[in-house]
Structure 1
């Protein structure tokens, strides 16, 4: 059983709820996947139930997608930290240059003990 698109679903008391159709996978989360899965199970033909291998494949695909999204978030965090470290390094280089210039401009004094 395949689901081409979801536009709306009917709730318990006949109330219609809108879904996130058309927003792509980026807008869907685990809760949306579970809703789709339970709706699919509730509306399946009892004489031709969903194949277990298809269901496991869907679960594995969602798990993979979830892990990839987590990795993307982690890489985004690492990138942000890298940019912060780069900015700190630039400021430290500027500070080192300023200190070196100040030290070079100070007169040197030599003391002799006689």
Structure 2
């Protein structure tokens, strides 16, 4: 039987910490829903994963910062693909509402 869920309903409480829900896990792809509310990545930390990442904002607002100093503002409907080993961090998420992300992590076949 199929299990149906709505990514925007029954959101977890993200006031104290970001919430990561793994939706799909496969050897070559992983899909997560991430719910943020005011959280950021510490200034000294960088995401530097071996997987490519496609991410979109389903609700809310956020900003990504990159090692080269550039920044990317993201709002509802925006999406970006980050090649593997692109150092980035979340520099801002809206503290007044949930920011709901959908992230797809994937690897090159080897």
Q: TM-score range by the shorter chain?
A: under 0.3
Superposition TM-score, scaled by structure 2 size: 0.20
Structure in which a larger fraction of residues adopt helix = 1
More strand by share: 2
Structure number with the bigger relative contact order (C-alpha 8 A, sep ≥ 6) is 2
Length-normalised TM-score, structure 1:
0.20
